[in-house]
Structure 1
Amino acid sequence: MGWRDLFHSATWKRSLALRMTLVAIVWSVVALAISGVILVGLFRDSAERHLDDRLKTSLDGLAGSLVAAQRGSPLEGDSLAEPEFKLPLSGWYWLVKDGRTGIVLWSSDSLYGDALDVGNTPADGEIHARYLEGPGGVQLRVISQVITAPAGTGYDVTVAGNAAQLNAEVMTFRQSVFVTFAVFAIGLLAAIFFQVRTGLRPLSRMRAALADVRNGESDRLTGDFPIEINPLAQEMNALIEANLKAVERARANAGNLAHALKTPLSVIINESRTEKGPFAQKVLEQAATMRVRINDALEQARLAAERRVLGAVSDVGSSLKGIARVLKRAYADREIDIEIVMPKEMRVRVERSDLDEILGNVLDNACKFGNGRLRVSMEESRSSQTGRDFVIVSVEDNGRGLTEADRKTALQRGRRLDESVPGSGLGLSIVHDLVEIYGGTLDLGESALGGLAVRIGLPSV
């Protein structure tokens, strides 16, 4: 993956740590590179000024010798401090030209008869510095100045020094800066990673605290969070408390409504049964319908309240064993055989009362419509679409089963496929609603025992 793909990838957009790290790395690299260029430039300027000072000292010596020559003394270039002016083609040269004609009057022994084309210097009395190529292709640092002797004669004086030493010093300094900054960059990268991990650690603690709430190990976010994210933790705790209060309020309202309607409806049904005639029969039918609708509405209100419950965690095995004991006593005359295959302890993100209702309805139907044998098995599975982990509970019986059309009808509220068996027809539909609310799945199929197989998928912990 290239840098362009990395910066535009979903990982870059979704990862706060990656964005912070990459931005810090890019900024650090750019800052170090700019600092290195500036430092090398400053060092070169300093080294260049130092070389110019050496050349100016030699130029001043030549100027003094010219004044002495005007008084009749010979021009003493040998008096210059730099011994390189005597070595042939050393890269250190001087020459004096006639300021008017440009003819070379004197030159250093180091030129060894070679020519040094320095051009004409402006007669403004200022020192002019520049680079040019000397004998043998060597780069020279040159300073020139037009000097007017007391007799009025003008001399174009030029002093040149080998720039190779200057370039070598700059290269050495550049390498030192590169090595130093490379070591500094490694330490800086380590500091960046440490800073990002340390800075984002409170978010990891908040995520762990939220996981504890979801797993039922805590009822609120606990921990000492920084002031930047502490308001978020407080808002989440307030939301959790508001949801819990809404659940309790919905449950209380549902219970009050059930008690308020239960007695009047029972009176209507009982009175209708004592009367004969089509009117009484019609009232009885409508009262029964009202009972189904009221149960339906109460169940929907309870489900809506349960949907807002956070941190609900239940053990599937203990729920199954408790329901199995109750059903064996309830169907003691049929000697129901309930086999539970449980490889290990499994927990789901479902309230215990809802889990008991889901499994209780399914197992009760298996007992009613089976022929005395039930097998309950559990396994873990991961959704290929969402990546979430589920516990799959399979309930199989050895009854006559259902056709494909009947399986669809069985999930409809209030529909009963076998009128000979008592019931309201709400069992599987309630199971379907509960499972759907918790983000699970419910499938009906054929059992290896010959009857119906109900597969329930619930989010695992």
Structure 2
Amino acid sequence: MTNKTASEPSGKPAAPLAERLKLASGWRRRSLSRRLVLVAAGWSVLALAIAWVILVGLYRTASERAFDAQLEVYAKTILSEMVPDATSADVPRETQAMLAVQAPKGIIEPRFSLPLSGWYWTVRSGETGRILFASPSLVGDPLTVASLEGEEAQSAFGTGPGGEELRVRQQRVRFGNATYIIAVAAGTAGFRADLAQFTQMAALTLAVIGAGLTGAVFLQVRIGLKPLVRLQASLAAVRRGDEETIDEDLPVEIAPLAVELNALIHSNREIVERARTHVGNLAHGLKTPLSVISNEARAAQGPLADKVSEQAAIMSTQIQHHLERARMAAQRRVIGVSCDVDPVLGRLCRAMGKIYQDRGIQLSQSVPAGLRFRGEQQDLEELSGNLIDNACKWAKGRVTVSVQPLAQSGVGRELFELVVEDDGPGLSQEERREAVKRGRRLDETVPGTGLGLSIVADLAALYGGRLDLDRSVMGGLKASLVLPAI
């Protein structure tokens, strides 16, 4: 363990963790379920809107045809009434001879006789356009109609007495050398009301169908993506260390993915184990020759022996540091490794309390229940043990250990902060910068190798965290260690 020290942040958090937090914070915005439902709902709304326009257009066309057919029946009735008899008491003989037709009398629709009833007819001269006969319902008011312009029959909207909208059916007929235009008109109020009612009912019906389709798509997506939720839960269980492999009992479309992930996890563990074996072999292979060199140098006398002994000690320190980093890196990449924070810190605090019992050091601990460290238990023990031991060495009488979860970008407990404070002398800003340098000891009177805080800073960086050192409110040093959580 190193002497009581403090430092500036040892480095920025690992970029991959920041990227993962950023991606996780936007997970809901990029929800696959939401995307599928919105696309399906959008196309459903568009398709139903087009269907609504088509249906309303078809209904309008059919209604207009039915309306025109009824008006055409009345026009033919008027035409049949115009066929002249041998005599007509109401029309002078000279007029009959000139017109070659007689005034219609037998129109069976009573509304043609009611003043301004909305049902009208006229008979005009095809050559001059002059009105020859008109229904009593017009009571002398004009009936504005469009010109046929060479057509034999035409249906269009026109304007009647009082500016009311009419549906007008015109038809050109010939008697001998004379041409007549029969126009039959009816008010469109009822027609418009029926069209509006159908439009509303069609919109309501299609809206209900659209809501039903959207609900069906939502259920289909939720049910269809449930296996992905199971896969996610199984993978999370492996990451937490609750399970060793991912459940492969999945639909055939994603079962190969689970198989490949399990193979990747197995390969990862094999690689880590091989790395640990190589690290152990390297440590064994280097430590023995260095021990021999150191022993021989200590047995000899002179400047050369002293220099060899000094350099051998430096090499041993360097080897220990880099082998420790290699072991940390290997453990950091193990999938599905985690441990509870509270029991680890509890054991360390009890052990440190016994070690420093003769100095009367009071250790207090505050750790939330259920918090888990995403990494090896021995790494957490080494990280927190270095900090707590360092604090106890320099404390006057009090050391506090507290843990609190950190929420980043709305992602819940992705990180947690371990804070160790003491009431010792503390360090200046310059001393805190020097403290985390490998092998740097600010006080040679306190036992230690000078590797403790440098290993803590390196290991925290490997886990995507950081070590911050500052002045404590208790007067001593405050060491803040940020680590990944589950």
- TM interval, short-chain normalised: 0.7 to 0.9
* Residue type at the aligned position of 2:112: F
**2:384 equivalent in structure 1:** 359
CA displacement at 1:193 relative to structure 2: 4.0
**2:115 equivalent in structure 1:** 88
**1:109 equivalent in structure 2:** 136
Q: 1:128 aligns with which of 130, 150, 154?
A: 154
Aligned ranges for residues 34-73 of structure 1 at < 5 Å?
A: 34-67=50-83, 69=84, 72=87
Q: 2:203 aligns with which of 155, 172, 178?
A: 178
* Residue type at the aligned position of 1:147: V
CA displacement at 1:293 relative to structure 2: 1.8
1:349 has 2:391 as partner: no
- SS of the equivalent of 1:279 reads helix
- 1:214–1:142: structure 2 CA closer, same or farther, 3 Å change rule? same
**2:126 equivalent in structure 1:** 99
Q: Retained in 2: the 8 A contact 1:220–1:237?
A: yes
Q: Deviations over 1:214-242 (max 9, x none)?
A: 32212333264455554544444443333
Q: Retained in 2: the 8 A contact 1:446–1:453?
A: yes
- SS of the equivalent of 1:28 reads helix
**TM-score after normalising by structure 2:** 0.81
Q: 1:247 aligns with which of 252, 272, 277?
A: 272
**1:3 equivalent in structure 2:** none
1:143 has 2:169 as partner: yes
CA displacement at 1:325 relative to structure 2: 5.2
How far, CA to CA, are the matches of 1:413 and 1:278 in structure 2? 26
How far, CA to CA, are the matches of 1:344 and 1:392 in structure 2? 11
CA displacement at 1:430 relative to structure 2: 0.6
* Residue type at the aligned position of 2:134: S
Q: Retained in 1: the 8 A contact 2:365–2:401?
A: yes
Q: Retained in 1: the 8 A contact 2:368–2:403?
A: no
**2:190 equivalent in structure 1:** 165
How far, CA to CA, are the matches of 1:277 and 1:348 in structure 2? 51
- SS of the equivalent of 1:268 reads helix
How far, CA to CA, are the matches of 2:81 and 2:311 in structure 1? 133
- 1:292–1:179: structure 2 CA closer, same or farther, 3 Å change rule? same
Q: Which ranges in structure 2 are unaligned for 5 or more consecutive residues?
A: 1-25, 90-101
- 1:217–1:120: structure 2 CA closer, same or farther, 3 Å change rule? closer
**1:6 equivalent in structure 2:** none
* Residue type at the aligned position of 1:350: G
Query: 208-217 vs 72-81, which deviates more?
Result: 72-81
- SS of the equivalent of 1:408 reads helix
**2:404 equivalent in structure 1:** 380
Query: 106-115 vs 84-93, which deviates more?
Result: 106-115
Q: Deviations over 1:166-211 (max 9, x none)?
A: 2221122122223323433443444454444444444433333333
- SS of the equivalent of 1:423 reads coil
Give aligned pairs, total.
447
How far, CA to CA, are the matches of 1:267 and 1:193 in structure 2? 73
CA displacement at 1:292 relative to structure 2: 1.4
How far, CA to CA, are the matches of 1:66 and 1:449 in structure 2? 117
Q: Deviations over 1:378-397 (max 9, x none)?
A: 23142567866444333345
Q: Which ranges in structure 1 are unaligned for 5 or more consecutive residues?
A: 1-9
**1:215 equivalent in structure 2:** 240
- SS of the equivalent of 1:114 reads coil
CA displacement at 1:298 relative to structure 2: 0.9
Q: 2:303 aligns with which of 254, 278, 287?
A: 278
CA displacement at 1:131 relative to structure 2: 1.5
CA root-mean-square deviation: 3.1
How far, CA to CA, are the matches of 1:130 and 1:324 in structure 2? 97
**2:21 equivalent in structure 1:** none
- SS of the equivalent of 2:171 reads strand
**2:42 equivalent in structure 1:** 26
- 1:254–1:119: structure 2 CA closer, same or farther, 3 Å change rule? closer
Q: Retained in 2: the 8 A contact 1:376–1:393?
A: no
Q: Deviations over 1:13-54 (max 9, x none)?
A: 634444444444433333333222221111111111111111
How far, CA to CA, are the matches of 1:174 and 1:396 in structure 2? 75
Query: 435-444 vs 382-391, which deviates more?
Result: 382-391
Query: 36-45 vs 355-364, which deviates more?
Result: 355-364
How far, CA to CA, are the matches of 1:415 and 1:198 in structure 2? 60
Q: Retained in 2: the 8 A contact 1:77–1:108?
A: no
How far, CA to CA, are the matches of 2:114 and 2:162 in structure 1? 14
CA displacement at 1:115 relative to structure 2: 3.2
CA displacement at 1:352 relative to structure 2: 0.4
Higher normalized contact order (CA 8 Å, seq sep 6+, divided by chain length): 2
How far, CA to CA, are the matches of 1:119 and 1:457 in structure 2? 86
How far, CA to CA, are the matches of 1:118 and 1:455 in structure 2? 92
- 1:321–1:114: structure 2 CA closer, same or farther, 3 Å change rule? closer
Q: 2:284 aligns with which of 252, 259, 262?
A: 259
Q: Retained in 2: the 8 A contact 1:221–1:237?
A: yes
CA displacement at 1:328 relative to structure 2: 6.0
Q: Deviations over 1:307-354 (max 9, x none)?
A: 21233222233223433555566667x466452423543432231010
* Residue type at the aligned position of 1:92: W
* Residue type at the aligned position of 2:455: I
- SS of the equivalent of 1:79 reads coil
How far, CA to CA, are the matches of 1:11 and 1:314 in structure 2? 26
* Residue type at the aligned position of 2:341: V
How far, CA to CA, are the matches of 1:93 and 1:401 in structure 2? 107
Q: Deviations over 1:419-458 (max 9, x none)?
A: 2344322111111111222233323344566654433333
How far, CA to CA, are the matches of 1:348 and 1:419 in structure 2? 34
How far, CA to CA, are the matches of 2:148 and 2:362 in structure 1? 113
Give the percent of matched residue pairs that are identical in Structure 1 and Structure 2.
45
How far, CA to CA, are the matches of 1:12 and 1:428 in structure 2? 39
CA displacement at 1:143 relative to structure 2: 1.7
How far, CA to CA, are the matches of 1:179 and 1:406 in structure 2? 76
- SS of the equivalent of 1:144 reads strand
* Residue type at the aligned position of 2:339: S
